[in-house]
Each structure stands twice: as structure tokens, then as C-alpha cells.
Structure 1
Amino acid sequence: MHTDPGLVAVLAYDGLCTFEFGIAVEIFGLPRPEFDFPWYRHCIVAVDEGPMRALGGFQVLADAGLEALTQARTIIVPGWRNREEAPPAPLLQALRLAHERGARLLSICSGVFVLAAAGLLDAKRATTHWRYTDELAARFPAVEVDPAVLYVDSGQVITSAGSAAGIDACLHLVARDFGAYVANTVARRLVMAPQRSGGQAQFIPAPVAQTPRDDLSAVLAWAQQRLNEPLSVTQLAAKALMSERTFLRRFSEATGMTPKRWLQHARMTQARALLESSRLNNEQIAERCGFGSVESFRVAFRKSVGLAPSFYRERFGQGEGYSVGAF
């Protein structure tokens, strides 16, 4: 039984970043007749008065002003018009108050500068577009900037890298609320691939894949079919017909992570799918996903997902009517 996920408020401002704004509206603002449970309620919140110009030459009219943030469970900051410009004081104060009462905040790309200016990222990990990470770190030294990830989930605050990584972050939030099956259903409607390997432990396989180098794609597909086996760098490099040193360098370039981390991510993705859509017990899932014991599986799953496998199944399990391989 899914609970009401609440109101998502997407900020609009003069100079609006249209792609980032479109991502938030697409994921949280569209009706979802494919689901038989309450979806997000959605509103556009004006930062500035009057019609606001958006990149591309059109204007945006909002549903409400900053007062609407007092009702929002989730607030999206879809980029920001000028990283060097101090955001309006009323906006910063409204975000601080929302954070104090427990609202979730998610920034896409340069929107992180708004959250940082509000002081909401102090002593937290955060990320932004790789072009801006040095600037973010220099201007806000209290923020622990991670330049190598698609997004960072700090619990109440989520920050994403460049524009398209906003899709990853938003779908991650959907999975937190509804589970990976629902998030991947949304990804399919977006006509996105159901898995993206990111540079951090992720709750869901997110939707946009970094394109692997042609000489590695076959190796990744081969490994994906053998997750139950103890795969080593030596095996993977031999399959790719490369030296281990060359393989490690090209693997990092293609996926943004080490082979060990990629395998862990792939095994967790498969484990989540099995917990959601099969009746296999933990021992069987541990074996299928290449864990040496059920205990090591439980520990790794809790560390990666933040939930015990049994609780994850209880919350997100879909029963026998779904095909594991379809997602």
C-alpha cells in the first residue's frame, strides 16, 4: 500500500533553466494513469514577480508564490540563472524554514548554489556539474563537494550533477517513495534505459546510461549474465583482450567507477529486482547475485540501500505477477 507522497513544488524564476525545469515537471507533474495509487501533487512556485522569462524565449506563469513552500513535502531547484548572483533573501529564508520543518530539497545542476547560499549544505556532501565543482568548493568551503558522482543523497537534501543527472536524482527520489519497480516504470515512459551505473551507492538503478566504449560493452554484458560468479579484474581484462592496467583505465573512463564497484552496483540492482518480483528467499537471492553468504548479502544490502532485504521486500514487493528480467 503506497502512501500519499505529498506536494512537489518546482521553483520558477526569471532566467529559468528550461531543461532542468522540464525534468522536474515531467517526472513529478504528469498524471500517471498506469498507477492505481496516489501520485505526487505538483505546483510551480514563483521566485520572482510577474511572468518570468525562460531560456528559449518563452514566459512562465506560476501557480503560487513562495508561501506555497510551507505546504510542500519536496522542493525542486531546477538550476539557477546566475551562479555568481546571490539568490533573493526571501527565497533563502523560505528554503531554510522548509528544511527546518522536514521538507526534502533537490537541486539540479547549478541549483546547488541556491541550497549552498541558504547554508543547507554545510558539512554535507554535494555535487553539481563538473564544470562548477571547483567554484562550488571555493565559494562554499563548508560543503564537501564530490565531483565524480551523478548525484548525492544526504537524506533530506539531494544534489545532482549536470542537467541530465537531474533525471537520475529525481528517479532516485521516486524509488525512495515507491520502490525501484515504479521508478523504472516511469523511466520506461521517458523512453530511457532502465539502468545507469553511478559513482555512488544508489537506491535504484537510475535511467540514463553512460555510453560504454564499444570495446567494453560486450564485456559488461558478459559480466551482467554472470553476476552469480566470483568475477575478477583478471577475468574481465582477459575477456576484453586488454592488459589489466589498460582495462582499469578504460573501465573507469566508461563507467566512472572501478570494476569492483560496478559489480557491486549490478548485484544490488539484481537483488532489488528479485526481492520486488520473486518469492526467492534471501539465501537463494544471495547465491544468484554472487554473494558468498546470506549474511554478507544482508550486510551489503543494508549498507547500499539503507534497509534490510526483508523490509525492502515488505515495502516494495510486487508478487509473482512481474518478470524479473523485464526491468
Structure 2
Amino acid sequence: MTQEQATWFAETFTRIVDNVSQAVLGKQNVVRLVVTTLLSGGHVLLEDFPGTGKTQLARALGQTLQAKSSRIQFTPDLLPSDVTGVSIFDPKTQTFEFHEGPIFASVVLADEINRASPKTQSALLEVMEEGRVTVDGVPHPVGQPFIVLATQNPIEQAGTYRLPEAQLDRFLMKTSVGYPDHSATVHILQGASVRDRAGTLDAVITGQAVSDMVDLADTVHVDPAVLEYVSRLVEETRRAPGVIVGVSVRGALALVRAAKTWAAAHGRNYVVPDDVKELAEPVLAHRLVLEAEAEFEGATAADALAAVLADVVPPAVRRGAQEQAPRQ
């Protein structure tokens, strides 16, 4: 990535964030995380209390892109075919014709994902990982760009199916919207007559441009010293007190991908350790599994990760430059 490309990337990233932020007031940092997930080719899990704007955030992102968006309301009776699609026999042609499900969209809102059965959850997560639906042995790509914004409610656990840790690992980020501050709340109340803020937004970028940004983010330079820093972080999470399962290699890869996008969003064509530190919690915390005793004592994955970040010293010198100097 050249510096000119990095500047264009940052300007376009800001336009997307500003547009979505018109519907989700006072939550620009959360919006930046979601857009970073989109441009990193990943998916995001939004866990928060009702009425905090999770659905509005997902719909606003769909409105911002000149691409198809869909919403799937997860319920206990939802079948996998209701998500992925189904083959229907056509008596005229005497063949089975595949009818696409709502998963075939660029932005998919999976609302209250923990209310669906494990079988339906698995069908969705398989599409998230593979980027395609296979029916009767025939693959059907969902296309690019493709992001799933899944929401779940941390309360009202009756009648829900908790996502297993292995499935949580499929999400590049997990974050929460949170309640708006006082000034943002007043602004929202002043516009109470507007029932659907997301519906008033105009598209500011095409789906093809988003795909181009995803490809461009992959070209951001990551120095070997930063890669070693990421490796040390994930290794220390596996040895952290009170942690049963630490961060996998998939989690380390997700952190590097997200850091590349985060760097480009700040107008840089290289990753610095601060990019890694800023994204560590939303990318890594949900991948940690704590001991039952530690959770009983009030420990959280975020606390364990914060301790690891404090213990592991970030690099201060580019290792790549040092290695190249003797060769010159």
C-alpha cells in the first residue's frame, strides 16, 4: 500500500463511519470497530441490553453500502434452510431449482442469534466461515463483501442456546454498543419523531469499492517485530492465571488482519504496536475461557487480557529494518 492509497483509505473509512454514526449517535468508536470488521473480511457479535441500538447499527451499515442487506430474526423454530435457502422441484423443467435464503446479502443482521437451535446456528456459522452454501453437492457463493452482524441479549436466558466457545471463535470481534451519554440521549429525544434513523441514510460507497478496500488492507505492512509481539500476547493468554483456554492461532490471525485495517483507517501503510493494543480486547477477549472458580470470584476475560497486555512489552524498534541493514 502506498501512502496515497493509505490516505484515500482513511478518508473513505471516515465517510463510512460518519454516515453510520448519523443513525447511532454518540457511538463512533463502536462504529469504527464494526467498519474495521467489515473491511477485514470478518464478522462481529454485538452483545448488549435491549434498546441500545444494535439493530440500528446493523441496518445503518446496510444502508451505507450500495449493496443488498437482509435481516434474519432468529427463533427456536427457525430451520437451517430458512437461513441458507432450499432446492424446490420445478415440474415444468423437471429439475430442482435453488432458492436463495436471506444469507445471500452483503450485510446480514442475525438478530438474537442465541434464540435459534444449535443446528441453525451451525448452519449460519458454516456460511460465515466458508463464504458459500452447499446444497445437494452444489456450492453457491454468497459473494463479496459479506459480513454478518449477530446480536444477542445478555439477559433473558430462558429459551436460548448459548453459543459454544468454538463458535464464538468464528467472530472476528465481539463488542457492545452501550447506552449513549447524556448529550447523545438528549439529541435522540429531540428527534423522537424519526422512528427509523437508519432508513434516512444515503449510500456512500459501492459493494465493489468495499471489496477493493478489503484487498487493499491486506497489503498493509506488518513488521516481524509486531508479529512477534502478537505471538507473545496469544501465548501468554494460554498461561494466564484463571484461564483454561487461551487464544488460538485463528485469533492471532484475526488480530493481525484487524490491525492492518485499523492502521490504514488512520492513514498509515504499516502497523504499529498501538494498533494491536487498541484492538486486543474486541478481537481476543471473547476467545478466552476462564476457570469456573475465577468467574465465581468476579474475574472477566477482559481483566485477564488486560493483565497480559501489561506484562508483555511491545517492541520499540523495527526488526525488519535491522535485518535489512547488513544486506545493504
For normalisation by structure 2, the TM-score amounts to 0.27
Q: Which has the higher helix share?
A: 2
For normalisation by structure 1, the TM-score amounts to 0.27
Greater relative contact order (Cα < 8 A, sep 6+)? 2
